[in-house]
Structure 1
């Protein structure tokens, strides 16, 4: 190869830039053949740190000579795979990587291969891959499922995993771990680098990415300025409740947008984004064309237009969701607004980094509370960001549904010998402890479906040939598998198209099947900032037209409720604890003074050394309000656990409500909470047994099994244009669940479903830690005469389950009116 070129020095010097120390450290490490993990703040220059490392090591020393016919020189063969977690990020990354190639006349090509790649481009790549291929974990696995995968990837020298923190803690990351294990077997000297901005456990992240060891960790610039501030509501509700979106803050949000040339307005849900976009347009109709909406259910064309317009500085604001969380480079964006609590420190920092997205520029995020208690979360979030208390992300351990899918993919990609593949799979961190028995089960499952499916040909997916190489012998099953590769499982989506008599109306995006099923032709709903009316539903497509209805539904998508992270919860309790000592530092805590004073007058405040509990007797019955501050998921498990343990002491039935701060237990029969709340009730002993007995664990496991069945290939969601409905898929999954329970009780996918319920649905580890923590706290139990500011949101959560939105709003208004009268009374204690 000769003397390595210093393309980085040439390019940086030409721009008058001086590289950061961390960038030079990455360049040196890659030159020496080292793998590693680069952790640096958003907009600090991570991409060019790794990209120029690849160019310096692998690009030719000079541009290839032109032919006598002046033809464009043929690009170098595939050298770098750049893995991205999002298709939107892929296009932006391609533009960033292409610029130095053009400036330096390096004969490398850059290509994309994602779910959005056209069939013609895929065909072109099948003939010759670009020098650098930007792709997703799913598309990489699809490449490995090709019969010529090893030869097609023979020239690969380096893999870059962008936004590694987004993949580390989920099954998509495990899918990538398996793919990397395969690539390392083919290319033992393969260099692998991860790029991340928000990791709370870098050592684990590096170990999972580079399980064979020998990697290095590079820490980027830590001096990037990140400003977190809050919009203070004009009036503070002493009895707040979640669910009213916070549109009372609309005038202040409009004022903030007026002051900035370009702003991203983040919401936590797609429904919330739709509502805020419509509200902004109604407030400022002159902004039509200057503000836009962006979320993952909008059509690809719409999202592409928004991203281009944002990059070009044509948009004043974009209302968005997590679809714009990751490292898309929008230089014009000066600030970020976050509607409601971000619920996590890493998520807030990631979103803040969308502003000032360049080295040396400050990032700013302004928090917009949607109810009063989110003010304390805002103050706590600023504390946690300042102290860099970032949530850890942990890789799943041994998910067998992903392994089963991988076995079929590798059988398609040239076949495998079981003993060789076993050692390769154990090279992936998630399967480091995969036992021979687990391996034998997985092989049997892909060969004939295990004990209960042997008689069905559709589950004989992989068989050994005469040479002992395991392959997929059935072309139909092979085609079906390729269409099902991936670990992202969601409810069936209905495509939205404008109604046209001749067919072929413009595609708008997609909504979940369950939402459309509740509408009748003529009903109106809000989507993509438009008022639409349902015309008809046909072949998983909903045809719509513009509507003039005044009242419109808003689609509700799954995945909207994010639990409060432990790091942010601890910061919240610290703020409450300081308030209990009279310390109200910052504008948020000063604004909350009336609420905190009333909470303390009627009950008490949570502290770092006490567990606040409240007992109330009302017309409904006997209430317990308990505030562990452990997040919604843990509180659900804890409430069910307490209900079971108390019911073993006396005959009693409970209604349960939970939120991120606490839980409510309500009984129609008398319960002496001062007697019941003793150390035995809250001990972590026999936790697993009690939790499983206290919940409908079978139903939870069935719900989880539906996802596992689809990833493992038991259930096929249908061909394009003939997709199965959610009801059909769920029925099929439920049938397998019952068959396995009855005839194959040792099926490891059943065990996995139960384990995932405990780990992900109930967060059993955090529940155990919570019980251990609250056992060390002093119990601060107050008998109260009326719901306190902390108890009120829990009452609303319970009422929401049994009331329509109109009736709920009326009931809440009456309750607040009564409570405010009591609060104003000098006699109310």
Structure 2
């Protein structure tokens, strides 16, 4: 319940704003008052508070009050405030929030958006005159920096607010934003910059990356109130003793449908777009009477489709929306009655962010209902509750010196305003990402953008900038056009537009999926059963399918999220040292009892290693509880080292809890062999040898080359197929490897493989931890509940679906009978 408004003079705002705030919001939160005072005193900072606590008004009313005090009866100067949002989809809701106090006190001030969704007419109007506050994205801000008059148009700029900074932190889009902010700080030294962040573990690093290492008058403000969070889990009526990933699937749909019926409105989150498509179908079939009030929302749907769903949420006409992280962030709609999470959230911060969609006000309790996709995920929900109460929230690791982004941004800067290299270097070093950029790296970059580097000197298209009398210039009109068209750091496989023959666009699907379909074949997209008519020039023309057989569901890349370090550790702790009773733990106890009888419970104190023989050969099952990506690296490393000793080929499988090695012969519970296989020494060399890192580097180089502008970009109406880009990037990769092996973009590609794809830092920490822990070696007569998912995943990867089902059923029956007998 809102506290009665205090007297107007007690608010650090001018009378009209203070009265409006008191009438509309009541008593301000302490962090809001602190933020207004800090802004008034000239400070920048990071504002940290849970979703729904009022961060937007805390950051907005300071600049608004300043302008109102300076221009009480006239229109303020254009572009006094720049508001950066991570998603253009949030722009319309941000506009609504920012306009509310302006309209309430009847000010003739304009707040407009300039994003990728802005029409060409509106962009032209904004080029003529900027509004009082401009809402934009990192990509659109970079694009505006290429215009020679942009500094002059921003001459009245007083404040920059970066919304949802936690979503940009640790990404190349975040680095792009850091560089843009450094440019604005250089232009306007008195500029105040504020970042808004929800749940985050490394607040100081987040602030420093936002404001740069040389900031002085900066503060970090946090809401003092804890956000109450309740996590409930739907427990299946029957739990199989040998669960594996996804085996529950949609078996829980009836229980979920019952929860939806009992609530006024529901957001049902899944972790992937494919899951969203499947659950939308299942919920609709389980609730045919409410099918028209059930909708779907994910990032591959067309903007109009998503906008219609958001309007339905705001208008209260929808009972349930099945969605992905596309509704995690601040799309503004009334708080929903309940939030349901299908499958493990994989991280504590993600779970809290999604739960915050209910109880979306200070002091109210946010509630989330977990739906496990396999029995062990019951433990993950219980562990997430443990970690939340212990305030063990994930940090966002930062990127250091991605030169592809710096190449792009340097060209952006000199396209808008020719400059001296030494001045640019000083500007870029005023970012946390590039503060350690050394002179040799900078010299290489200047040579790369002016000559193409040592390997591409003979090709004029790679000579973009010119160094004339000590000043960098970028004045090739065609090259400048291509650069503007492809500003940004988001890279992905070619997106195929899905359209009805009438011309209505439904959204996009990855090329790798659609090219496997034949005309006439059915697939599910956007909640519809569709039939492919034809595929031509990156457009899939479709019609509604009348077949009764359900079609394929698209699978988008990046579908598997690894368990976060914090949540994985919480699961391992709960196995041995549960900090509080939990119904989820009780439900899984019979499975854990079988694991204990047949082997041992993995945990944090010792590393459990199981040895088992099956008809496929000899297996080692190892349980570090470090997450899927780390286990992928550990499995490859251990397989390489052991194979080198025993002379046998070794297959690997991994999940979030552990990994398995299988060979026909030669594996054993030899502690010295296992210690050598998991030794932190020579980690980088052996890891690079153990995986097809040459091919991985080739694929990673494609992303780096795109961002750095090495690949000929898309022209309007002339998109290039993915295979053409692969040929171009592969050719460049070979040229650099053979003729310019010290090329820093090659080195960056290798570094990104280690640190992003293989999580080298986390992997090294895990190996160091294993070296200090005792090994518990257990030879088992049969697959244990922990080992079975790894065995099942390997089977699924190596056999046809029909054979897999037969083998799984037979193994499950045998293990279940033996579990009953041993019990």
Find the partner of 1:506 among 497, 504, 507.
Answer: 504
The aligned residue for residue 265 of structure 1 is 268
- Contact persistence 2:301–2:506 (CA under 8 A): yes
Q: Note the alpha carbon deviations across 1:226-250, whole angstroms, 9 max, x for none.
A: 1111111111121111134620110
Find the partner of 1:496 among 495, 498, 504.
Answer: 498
- Contact persistence 1:331–1:358 (CA under 8 A): no
> Equivalences for 1:576-595 in 2 at 5 Å?
576-578=575-577, 585-595=581-591
Instruction: Give runs of ≥4 in structure 1 deviating > 4 Å.
Output: 60-63, 675-678
Distance 2:379 2:17 in 1: 46
**SS of match in other structure, 1:228:** strand
Deviation at 1:16, TM superposition (A): 6.0
- Contact persistence 1:576–1:607 (CA under 8 A): yes
Distance 1:605 1:296 in 2: 40
The number of residues matched between the two structures is: 809
Deviation at 1:605, TM superposition (A): 0.3
Find the partner of 1:741 among 731, 737, 740.
Answer: 737
- Contact persistence 2:338–2:367 (CA under 8 A): yes
**Is there any run of 5+ residues in structure 2 with no aligned partner, and where?**
1-11
Distance 1:313 1:4 in 2: 34
Distance 1:720 1:657 in 2: 43
Matched, 1:79 2:112: no
The aligned residue for residue 683 of structure 1 is 679
> Equivalences for 1:64-463 in 2 at 5 Å?
64=73, 76-211=77-212, 212-214=214-216, 215-244=218-247, 246-463=249-466
Distance 1:253 1:668 in 2: 44
The aligned residue for residue 797 of structure 1 is 793
Closer/same/farther in 2, CA of residues 611 and 16 from structure 1, 3 Å limit: closer
Matched, 1:603 2:607: no
The aligned residue for residue 727 of structure 1 is 723
The aligned residue for residue 472 of structure 1 is 474
- Contact persistence 1:60–1:106 (CA under 8 A): no
**SS of match in other structure, 1:143:** helix
The aligned residue for residue 49 of structure 1 is 58
**Is there any run of 5+ residues in structure 1 with no aligned partner, and where?**
66-73
**SS of match in other structure, 2:542:** strand
Distance 1:144 1:7 in 2: 35
Closer/same/farther in 2, CA of residues 125 and 805 from structure 1, 3 Å limit: farther
Distance 1:578 1:345 in 2: 19
Deviation at 1:4, TM superposition (A): 7.3
**SS of match in other structure, 1:479:** helix
For the aligned residues, what is the CA RMSD? 1.6
- Contact persistence 1:340–1:374 (CA under 8 A): yes
Distance 1:92 1:157 in 2: 23
Q: Note the alpha carbon deviations across 1:537-590, whole angstroms, 9 max, x for none.
A: 1111000000022130001101111111110011000111137xxx98211011
Deviation at 1:675, TM superposition (A): 4.6
The aligned residue for residue 704 of structure 1 is 700
The aligned residue for residue 638 of structure 1 is 634
Distance 2:802 2:479 in 1: 50
Deviation at 1:383, TM superposition (A): 0.6
- Contact persistence 1:628–1:662 (CA under 8 A): yes
Q: Which stretch has the larger CA shift, 691-700 or 5-14?
A: 5-14
- Contact persistence 2:83–2:134 (CA under 8 A): yes
Distance 1:481 1:88 in 2: 24
- Contact persistence 1:267–1:321 (CA under 8 A): yes
Q: Note the alpha carbon deviations across 1:356-395, whole angstroms, 9 max, x for none.
A: 2222322111111011010000100111111121111122
**SS of match in other structure, 1:195:** strand
Q: Note the alpha carbon deviations across 1:328-347, whole angstroms, 9 max, x for none.
A: 23224122110000101111
Distance 2:397 2:427 in 1: 22
- Contact persistence 2:63–2:158 (CA under 8 A): no
The aligned residue for residue 71 of structure 1 is none
Matched, 1:32 2:51: no
Find the partner of 2:810 among 803, 810, 814.
Answer: 814
- Contact persistence 1:76–1:108 (CA under 8 A): no
- Contact persistence 2:620–2:668 (CA under 8 A): no
Q: Note the alpha carbon deviations across 1:689-729, whole angstroms, 9 max, x for none.
A: 11111111111111111100000001134223221111111
- Contact persistence 2:248–2:372 (CA under 8 A): no
Q: Which stretch has the larger CA shift, 369-378 or 695-704?
A: 695-704
The aligned residue for residue 652 of structure 1 is 648
The aligned residue for residue 68 of structure 1 is none
Distance 1:177 1:677 in 2: 47
**SS of match in other structure, 2:798:** coil
TM-score by structure 2 length? 0.96
TM-score by structure 1 length? 0.95
Q: Which stretch has the larger CA shift, 807-816 or 598-607?
A: 807-816
**SS of match in other structure, 2:251:** helix
- Contact persistence 1:63–1:107 (CA under 8 A): no
The aligned residue for residue 570 of structure 1 is 569
Q: Which stretch has the larger CA shift, 512-521 or 228-237?
A: 228-237
Distance 1:484 1:201 in 2: 32
Distance 2:809 2:72 in 1: 73
Find the partner of 2:516 among 518, 541, 550.
Answer: 518
- Contact persistence 1:536–1:543 (CA under 8 A): yes
The aligned residue for residue 69 of structure 1 is none
Closer/same/farther in 2, CA of residues 246 and 475 from structure 1, 3 Å limit: same
Closer/same/farther in 2, CA of residues 477 and 323 from structure 1, 3 Å limit: same
Deviation at 1:404, TM superposition (A): 0.3
Matched, 1:674 2:670: yes
**SS of match in other structure, 2:52:** coil
Distance 2:671 2:25 in 1: 73
Deviation at 1:769, TM superposition (A): 0.5
- Contact persistence 1:75–1:130 (CA under 8 A): no
Distance 2:13 2:251 in 1: 60
- Contact persistence 1:484–1:716 (CA under 8 A): no
Deviation at 1:213, TM superposition (A): 2.3
- Contact persistence 1:62–1:106 (CA under 8 A): no
Closer/same/farther in 2, CA of residues 815 and 403 from structure 1, 3 Å limit: same
Q: Which stretch has the larger CA shift, 220-229 or 447-456?
A: 220-229
